[in-house]
Structure 1
């Protein structure tokens, strides 16, 4: 049922009824919660009541004042508006209407630094601010997303049961958790999206390799991805890839993927992930290259100019491969590179938690990503097990299961990257992931030369492997060494 606001009887409220907010409100109502709904444009609120009012108990409100009054204290207000200034504007309008102890929940893709700022801002008014990452897109919002909640324990006591009831469920457990205070929820969601960038780029590179070098057509590649989805690579994105590659454009009769412009857009979370990793000193090479690959795809004028100068006869870069063997090699390379991407992402979450004092349970993060979110995949269960068995794990790559998988696939991985280079097919995510793996396992890196050069031109000092201390060499003088 639905009705206009009167007395305060809604257990939760939601303002911002674009597609994500609308679907989330419907999900909440379907799970037995009375929800007050509001939108800056009243018509959107009324459309929701007219079309879906029979799905649950909605309380329609036309003004923010009416909206706030309709919610039981301590109030829980979900904000589902565009991240940035739009969120700040809604918060500024809400704060004067709220009472001490009320809870404001930002469910948008906010930058975690903004969430930390807003948390401090609302604390001054006696209010709880909860930055919450919601993953799963429109379908997830309606049918069960993965939810990463920040904020205080007190706020989660009031909010948690509602969000856990609407989240995706795996083995009777909700894909929703309180991951930490302050900006922890949005930080974890940001890294989730960074991993998503890497995952999608690796999938796209696999498709390109199978088509450009393997000679398979999109429908054949769809069948390959369909088979891969029956094994350890099983995931939401692998299944979606098969669906997209099977689709034929109704207007032209061509494979749908061939009529889509090859310029990938981004909303900023991948860029934020890379910027944060640089600040934290965490090498997330696969995620970074995936982000830069999207940027390159959008530089149409540069690409067109380069094609005029550097285009070569396709026969000059043709590489003969055993098609079936190459498909298997790409599968192994994809799996190994995917492990690297997730390992790097979890490294970043760990570093962010240490930097900001968040007590983030990495095993729990993997557990709530098992369903509802875009990067849900079979092997997230393996990651959960790894961090459950060893909470202080140095890197996922050294756990028995993933180490064995990488060892088994490393020769294929190298073959794929080498073949791509021979054939002129760009594989930035595959290549950078392999280089990261090689760098990680190498006993000596050429960083020793870099550090010596830094000392030479800038007296930045260096450390030695044979004794303790920090040293400087008089490069412009007698080459004597002194302890700094």
Structure 2
């Protein structure tokens, strides 16, 4: 009976859970599965898992009995209260040394709370980001495990086996202690928000500004995917433009309501960045764009009465604009990744996580949604200089921004001249310009704060004075 036990267990048989379980079994690890709806367990064993090394459990107690010790149980349930509820269901059936792995998109502070609560019973906890969607879960995701190092070492053979593979190994590395794994996954999702919005704005400029059809856009994005913009999101964008509605034959993308949803990780990223004092305007703009898209009725009404530039056919060199949009997209993507990595560095310093930024960029090169050609350069940048304060200061990316800058500015100006909103492009360009400005206008901001609130300021000519206050009305009468 002992030999028949499963190596690992999984709770939560949604599509992600099913696919990850099949991935685990395919790599040689017999697996026990449980779902609060027992019929899902029975259905899986009778269909996709038929004849495979699967063990079905109809209760938490049965799941625990099916597992070899120390037990290792993966949770793939909705973040928040469902995670706590699931832990409470299985906890009485575990013993010291057993391991729970939360593979959902949990808030990192919840992960740290759960780790402390479970440690009181001797149960070890790993919070692991899992990226790649349904396909990644089945064929190889990018994995971001954080928490107790010894617990990760126990699951490491499984994680390295099921992760996506790139030229130098599996897309998984130990992230760090506490909730660092889920924090890194959160920032990954924030970068994803920015990347998707930038692509959407590139599409809008070409579609509205140049009048490109879906077929023409498919050609452009497919060509872009062969160069520096090569990425999963650019690849699927080209495919989306080729998809036709079965009933009308029209491009399916044209029939989709322009209201984008969000599940919260992007918003979390923005909130944490504010708490840590890190500027991430591209990601912030992406969140704002989704919020604005949700106000569809208000936008329809406003479109009837609010004036903007008069529409007219484009007169000029299309190829020049396409090239400018390409360069703008590449430069803005660099800015978005720069912001994400800066946030990771700030969190690493604040929480003393010692995050391996180069390795994190490395494991994002395969399996995950933001996998892209430029991640190889990001990994190299941090390999050369672990304390790099900004990606924009790395020679590779500094030169790339210099080459792309003329097109970047041309594309933004072109869009603004036509009244095409480009929140993420504009924010990215402003971020770059702010970053390269040795002096910003916040000297005036400090003067205003001191004038109305005596908040003090520092003098550039007399730094030795420290914080000073001026009686402004007495100077100006």
Q: TM-score, normalised by structure 1?
A: 0.95
Corresponding residue for residue 398 of structure 1 = 393
Give the secondary structure class of the aligned counterpart of 1:94: helix
Residue of structure 1 aligned with 2:443, choices 403, 426, 448: 448
- Distance in 2, matches of 1:431 and 1:312, equals 18
Residue of structure 1 aligned with 2:306, choices 310, 332, 341: 310
Spell out, residue by residue over 1:409-445, the C-alpha distance to the aligned partner (whole angstroms, 9 max, x if none): 1011111111111100000000000000000001210
Spell out, residue by residue over 1:320-376, the C-alpha distance to the aligned partner (whole angstroms, 9 max, x if none): 331011100000000000000000000001111111111210000001000000000
* 1:477 Cα deviation from its structure 2 partner: 6.1
Counting only pairs closer than 5 Å after superposition, residues 468-483 of structure 1 correspond to structure 2 as: 468-475=464-471, 478-479=474-475
- Distance in 2, matches of 1:255 and 1:266, equals 24
CA contact (8 A) 1:37 1:61 kept: yes
Give the secondary structure class of the aligned counterpart of 2:33: strand
CA contact (8 A) 1:319 1:423 kept: no
Counting only pairs closer than 5 Å after superposition, residues 58-457 of structure 1 correspond to structure 2 as: 58-311=54-307, 314-315=310-311, 320-457=315-452
Change in CA separation of 1:476 and 1:231 when aligned onto 2, cut-off 3 Å: closer
CA contact (8 A) 1:459 1:472 kept: no
- Distance in 2, matches of 1:368 and 1:202, equals 23
Spell out, residue by residue over 1:386-421, the C-alpha distance to the aligned partner (whole angstroms, 9 max, x if none): 110111111111111111111011011111111111
CA contact (8 A) 1:237 1:375 kept: yes
* 1:81 Cα deviation from its structure 2 partner: 0.7
- Distance in 1, matches of 2:185 and 2:470, equals 49
Spell out, residue by residue over 1:97-137, the C-alpha distance to the aligned partner (whole angstroms, 9 max, x if none): 11011111110111111111111111111111111100000
Aligned alpha-carbon RMSD (Å): 1.6
* 1:470 Cα deviation from its structure 2 partner: 2.5
* 1:460 Cα deviation from its structure 2 partner: 1.0
- Give ranges in structure 2 of 5+ residues lacking alignment: none
> May I ask how many residue pairs the two structures share in their alignment?
475
CA contact (8 A) 1:8 1:69 kept: no
CA contact (8 A) 1:29 1:55 kept: no
- Distance in 1, matches of 2:171 and 2:435, equals 32
Give the secondary structure class of the aligned counterpart of 1:178: coil
Change in CA separation of 1:43 and 1:203 when aligned onto 2, cut-off 3 Å: same
* 1:279 Cα deviation from its structure 2 partner: 0.4
Change in CA separation of 1:407 and 1:86 when aligned onto 2, cut-off 3 Å: same
